[in-house]
Amino acid sequence: METKLIKIKDSANIKDVELAEAAEVIRRGGLVAFPTETVYGLGANALNEDAARKIYAAKGRPSDNPLIAHISSMEELAPLVSEIPEAGRRLAEAYWPGPLTLVFPKSGLVPYGTTGGLDTVAVRMPSDPVASRLIALAGVPVAAPSANTSGRPSPTTARHVWQDMNGRIDMILDGGPVGIGVESTIVDVSGSVPVLLRPGAVTMEMLEKTVGHVEIDPAIQGPPREDLRPKAPGMKYRHYAPHGDLVLVEGAGMEAVISRINGLAKEKTDQGFRVGIICTDETMGRYRWGQVRSVGMRAKEETIAHNLFAVLREFDDLKTDYIYSESFSREHLGQAIMNRLTKAAGYHVIRV
C-alpha cells in the first residue's frame, strides 16, 4: 500500500479542503494517522469492525487491547454510552477538549471489535485543531491508538509515524510535533469510584480537585502480576520500549545517581557496547561516556514529557545497546513520566 503524506500548512488556521480526503478515507474504512495534543494517533471509523481490525494489523497490536474512540463535540458522546455517570460528566466538563480519556459503559452502537470485547468504551475529545476538525468532517467517532508499532515508543512527530507505518496505512497528516508528548490520562468512571488507569497530563491532583477521591489501578505502579487482571488490558503488554536495554537509576542524591550512571556507562563502553545516557539540562555536563541526551529541564517537567519518546526513539536510530536514565519525581506530571519510563525499562530500576 502506498502511504500518502499530507503536510498541514498552519494547524491553527486549518482549512477543510486540507482534511477532506483524510475524512473520506476514514468514512470508507481506511486508516489515517493524525496529530493530537498528546501523541500521533492512528485513526479509523470506531463503528466499523473491519476498520478496527486494520488498526490492529497495522500496529501488530493484540486484539484484546481496546481502542479509544475520539469525538469532536459533547453531542457525539451520548450515542456511544449507555449511561453518563456523574463523575464522568464533571470530568468531561472540566477537561474536554483535552488530554483525558473516560471509560463509560458502552451502548449497542459500539462494536466489540473496537472495545476488545469489553462492555465499556473509552472516549476522548482531543483539543488539537487538526484532530478535532478531522473527526467532525469524518462524521463518525474515530478509534485512534498511538500511531506506532505495538511496543515501541509512541510517535510525537510525523517522521516517527512514517518510520513505523509507511506502506501499512492510507495516509499521514503532518501537523508538526505534538504539544504534550505522553498519552492521555485514562479514568474509568463506569464504577462507583473513579479509577485512574493511566496517568497523563490531567494529573491526579487535577482529577481529585474535580471529583474528590480517585483510586489508582495497581497495575500503574508496578510490574504486571499474574494474579491481577488489569482494568486497562493494555497494561499487561510491554510498552514504549526502545530496542536497547534501558535501566533507570533512582536516588535521593543526584551526585550518587550521576556517579552510578557514569560507572555503568564506562563499564559497557569498555566492553565495546554502544551506550546512551538520558539526563537533563541541569546535569548534561556531568556525563563522560556514551551518547548523552538531555530529555528536558528538571525545573520544567512538561519539557521532559514533551521529549521523552523522541529521545527513546533516537537511541533506536543510533542502535544503542544499553541506555541509562536518571529518574524523576512521581508528583503531578512526573507520575506520567515515571509510568512511561519504568514500563519502557521493563521495571528495571537501580536504587542508589
d(CA 137, CA 72): 9
Q: Quick one: 287 or 309, whose CB is closer to ligand AMP?
A: 309
Q: Which DSSP symbol is given to 299?
A: T
Segments of the chain assigned E as strands: 4-7, 32-34, 41-45, 68-70, 100-105, 120-124, 142-143, 171-174, 185-188, 195-198, 215-216, 245-250, 275-279, 291-294, 322-326, 349-351
Beta bridge partners of 276: 291, 323
Residue nearest to ligand AMP according to CB distances in the complex: 234
Q: Which range in 228-236, 313-321, 331-339, 343-351 contacts ligand AMP by CB under 6 A? A: 228-236
Among 58, 186, 219, 257, the residue binding ligand AMP under the rule CB under 6 A is: 186
Q: Quick one: 59 or 306, whose CB is closer to ligand AMP?
A: 59
Q: Quick one: 64 or 250, whose CB is closer to ligand AMP?
A: 64
Site for Mg ion in 127-146 (CB under 5 A): 146
Nearest distance in Å: CB 315, ligand AMP: 21
Nearest distance in Å: CB 180, Mg ion: 14
**234 lies in the site for ligand AMP, by CB under 6 A:** yes
Nearest distance in Å: CB 145, ligand AMP: 3
**103 lies in the site for ligand AMP, by CB under 6 A:** yes
Site for ligand AMP in 118-147 (CB under 6 A): 118, 120-122, 145-146
With a CB cutoff of 8 Å and minimum separation 6, the contacts of 263 are none
**36 lies in the site for ligand AMP, by CB under 6 A:** no
Question: What does 135 interact with, of Mg ion, ligand AMP, none (CB < 5 to 8 A by kind)?
Answer: none
Residue nearest to Mg ion according to CB distances in the complex: 146
**Residue among 93, 158, 195 nearest 310 (CA):** 158
Identify whether the C-beta of residue 36 lies closer than 8 Å to the C-beta of residue 126.
yes
d(CA 47, CA 271): 53
**Residue among 21, 71, 83 nearest 46 (CA):** 71
**231 lies in the site for ligand AMP, by CB under 6 A:** yes
Residue with cell 502506498: 2
Identify whether the C-beta of residue 157 lies closer than 8 Å to the C-beta of residue 147.
no
> What is the per-residue DSSP string for 42-76?
EEEETT-HHHHHHHHHHHT--TTS--EEE-SSGGG
Q: Quick one: 115 or 146, whose CB is closer to Mg ion?
A: 146
**185 lies in the site for ligand AMP, by CB under 6 A:** no
Q: Quick one: 65 or 262, whose CB is closer to ligand AMP?
A: 65
d(CA 173, CA 238): 27
- Positions touching ligand AMP (CB under 6 A) are 65-68, 103, 115, 118, 120-122, 145-146, 183, 186, 197, 231-234
- Positions touching Mg ion (CB under 5 A) are 146
